[in-house]
Amino acid sequence: MLDRARALQPRLVQLRRHIHAHPELGFQEFQTGQYVSDTLTALGVEHMRGVARTGVVAVLGNGRGPTIALRADMDALPLQESGDAPYKSQTPGVMHACGHDAHTAILLGVAELLGKEELNGTLKLIFQPSEEGGAEDKSGGLLMVQEGVLDGVERVWGLHVGSGETAGVISVGEGPIQAAADSFSASILGVGGHGAFPHRSLDPIWLASQVLPAIYGIIPRRLDPTRMAVITVGTIHAGTANNVIPMKVDFTGTIRSFEEDTRALLHKSLEEAFSIARAMGGDFVLNHPYGYPANVNDPETARYIRGVATDLVGADHVETALPMMAGEDFAYMARKSKGGFINIGAAIGDKPRPHHHPDFDIDESILSTGAAVLAETARRYLNG
């Protein structure tokens, strides 16, 4: 399978570069979905469009055995790409800065590798929209689950490229591998006035200066130190002039955790931290909805793809993945079916090209490796 995938490498690069040059944001992947559909049609692969708004789901196999799925996400990010690569984004202010173009190309490669195979069962190839963000508090992964794409699916596998890890090295973890990703927005409310007469006002900046240490004290003082979690205040905005005490201070931030009880404690503690403003005569408004749940790999499903990867690329190119605080809406699929999510290193030399950054790019040689691992995992599982 790896030899067959390597023979497809020029085509995989072509697919990835086309998608990279034409990025689209979440739930706007109209031409990306069309490109995926056109490619599947040319391969003679049955598929449906418009799933979860702009997604595509292809079906392979004879339908007489188990049903499994492979997933790739298709959306880009609101960033202006730097550099001068010939496949640079042609859409101002939008770029594939997280590797979803590679994921989509890899899954199209799987369609070509397995399109003519005899598969004893059903394989769904899920081209998912809007992993990076949702509309109406729903991401593409959640909508896919709600629309029944994972109904009857025993196991689902996916992968993510890593621009900071050695190219071709595959990381597989068991249990929680990516954090629940929640956000919060808040306002501390005071009474505005003249900066020369603070005693006639209630300075919300002063109130905020009491709240911030309480927020940053939650992790070290309220949480069991053996648990992993993060609370970050990302923005603080207040005021319009140097001699005006403002009416309010606005905050936004993120909350990351792995266990549901830890998650609940962090949310409760955040409310208590902001309540300091109320105790000191002010007030606050806090919105802290739950976002993506933690992405949890089913141990058996993870071990299965680890075994395939080891056979294909060798044990020296397969590592144990450590949990990370990044979020991933594959988590919804892994809650519905037994999930196995892996990472494949794709660093280019020594220059940092971090995810969600204008300089992001990957070593494209890993496209064939990713396609081979996913295709062989599906083929072996369905054919015993």
343 φ, ψ to 5°? Answer: -120, 140
> d(Cα 211, Cα 273) in Å, to the nearest integer?
6
The per-residue pLDDT for range 205-250, each reduced to its tens digit, is 999 999 999 999 999 999 999 999 999 999 999 999 999 999 999 9
Q: 89 and 110 in contact (C-beta within 8 Å)?
A: no
Residue 20 has pLDDT above 80, yes or no: yes
Is residue 136 left, alpha or beta, with left meaning phi > 0 and alpha meaning psi from -120 to 50? Answer: left
| Active-site entry in 29, 75, 101, 328 | 75
pTM: 0.95
Q: Where are the domains of the chain?
A: 2-177+294-383, 180-287
Q: Distance (Å, rounded) from C-alpha 352 to C-alpha 220?
A: 31
Backbone angles phi and psi of 94, in degrees to 5: -135, 135
- pLDDT at residue 136, rounded to an integer: 58
* Cα gap 318→304, rounded to integer Å: 13
Q: How confident is the model at residue 75 (pLDDT cuts 50, 70, 90)?
A: very high
- The end-to-end CA distance of the chain, in Å, is 16
Q: How far apart are CA 19 and CA 31, in angstroms?
A: 9
75 is annotated as an active-site residue = yes
- What average pLDDT score do residues 299-326 get? 97
Place of tokens 């059903």: 122
Flag whether pLDDT at 134 surpasses 90.
no
* Side chain identity, residue 65: G
* pLDDT above 70 (res 188): yes
Spatial distance between the Cα atoms of 82 and 294, rounded to a whole number of angstroms: 32
Q: Which of 278, 279, 291 is nearest to 180 (CA)?
A: 291
* Count helices and strands in the chain by DSSP H and E runs: 11, 16
Half-sphere exposure of 142 (CA within 13 A, CB side): 14
Mean pLDDT for 98-114 is 98
Give mean pLDDT, residues 134-146.
84
In percent, how much of the chain has pLDDT > 70?
99
Q: What is the mean pLDDT of residues 155-176?
A: 98
Burial of 164 (0-12, 13-18, 19+ CB in 10 A): exposed
Using alpha carbons, list the distances in angstroms from residue 144 to 66, 105, 243. 19, 20, 52
Per-residue CA distances from 49 to 25, 98, 263, 307 (Å): 17, 23, 36, 33
Catalytic residue among 131, 298, 328, 376: 131
User: Domain 2-177+294-383: which topology?
Assistant: Aminopeptidase (3.40.630)
The yes-or-no verdict on residue 65 having pLDDT over 60 is yes
Calculate the average pLDDT of the chain. Answer: 97
Q: How far apart are CA 39 and CA 48, in angstroms?
A: 13
Would you list the DSSP string of 108-146? HHHHHHHTTS--SSEEEEEEE--SS--BTTB-HHHHHHH
Hey, what amino acid is at 99? G
Annotation says 117 is catalytic: no
The token duo for 134 is 């949702």
Grouping H, G, I as helix, E, B as strand and the rest as coil, residue 174 is coil
Q: Is 282 helix (H, G, I), strand (E, B) or coil?
A: coil
pLDDT tens for 259-277 read 999 999 999 999 999 999 9
Residue 221 has what pLDDT? 97
Question: From 3.40.190.10, 3.40.50.620, 3.30.70.360, 3.30.1280.10, which CATH number describes the 180-287 domain?
Answer: 3.30.70.360
Amino acid, single-letter form, for residue 102: A
Asked if pLDDT for residue 135 goes beyond 60, the answer is no
